[in-house]
Structure 1
Amino acid sequence: MEKLRNYAGVVALTLVLLTGCQAESETSESQEGGSQSSQEIEATVELTKNQGEEQVKEKDITVEEGTVLMDAMEENFEVEEKDGLINGIEGISAEEGEKKAWVYDVNGEEAKVGAAEYEIEDGDEIHFDFQSWE
């Protein structure tokens, strides 16, 4: 009878240990998978007016790799957007009939695509300027 009790105890202990190892393995796999799926990158966004004459705001941002500029702007600033174009940032937008707009460059080079298409890269220096387009 005592041998049966000992045997049952060993079986129960073995099951507990195996269940614990399996749960730990699944947790480790999910943590590893999470760290591989997204990496954070940093960029700086500067807002000015009249070709840099007036500083509006500057902010260091952190986003997930693969984030497009429009999404980052909407997460970090008050943005007015229509049809994929930024019409206002931080309450600054063109008045009715005024020929002004927000334009941006990245690392000193004029943007080749709209903010909804540009994918931010680590270390980017993004400069938005509210200026006349005449």
Structure 2
Amino acid sequence: MKKYIKLFLLTVFATTLVACGQPSTSNKTTTSSTLEVGKVELVVKEDTNVLSEKVVYHKGDTILDVLKANYKVKEKDGFITSIDGISQDETKGLYWMFKVNNKLAPKAANQIKVKKNDKIEFYQEVYKK
């Protein structure tokens, strides 16, 4: 009988200890969420097709990083040559261009860091020299 009483008391003690313990406040987060800074609007236009979505970017990301994280991209020296299989056509002078916040980008996509709430718009345009 003493054995059962000891077992019962031990169970009650253990349950009380667990129930009265401090709640766990885990500081564990994934690497991607700790680096997440915000979202930007990424727009890709091809003829009459327009894809527009809010996408996540991380601290230090360039426009090229964000584009590559969301589309299949080919590039040369930071200049986009193909997005999701839609390539530029050098013989026609048709190239991928992009704007940031409605202004033509002054540099290559690998040289411009994204900022919170940027609107990045990729489109094809004939470029004549």
> Which interval holds the TM-score relative to the shorter structure?
0.5 to 0.7
Q: Percent identity?
A: 23
Q: Which has the higher helix share?
A: 1
Regions of 4+ moved over 6 Å = none
Answer whether contact 1:49 1:131 (CA < 8 A) is retained: no
How far off is 1:70 after superposition?
0.7
Match for residue 109 of structure 1? 103
How many aligned positions are there?
Answer: 104
How far off is 1:47 after superposition?
1.1
- Measure the CA separation in 1 of the matches of 2:106 and 2:49: 24
1:45 to 32, 42, 45: 42
Answer whether contact 2:93 2:126 (CA < 8 A) is retained: yes
Of the structure 1 ranges 76-85 and 116-125, higher mean CA displacement relative to structure 2 is found in 76-85
CA RMSD in angstroms, aligned pairs only: 2.7
How far off is 1:79 after superposition?
0.6
Deviations 1:57-96, CA, capped at 9 Å, x for gaps: 1121101122111111111101111222110112111236
Answer whether contact 1:80 1:88 (CA < 8 A) is retained: yes
Q: Against the structure 1 CA distance between its residues 133 and 121, is the aligned structure 2 distance closer, same or farther, given a 3 Å change threshold?
A: same
- Measure the CA separation in 2 of the matches of 1:46 and 1:39: 20
Q: Which runs of 5+ in 1 are unaligned?
A: 1-23
Q: Which runs of 5+ in 2 are unaligned?
A: 1-23
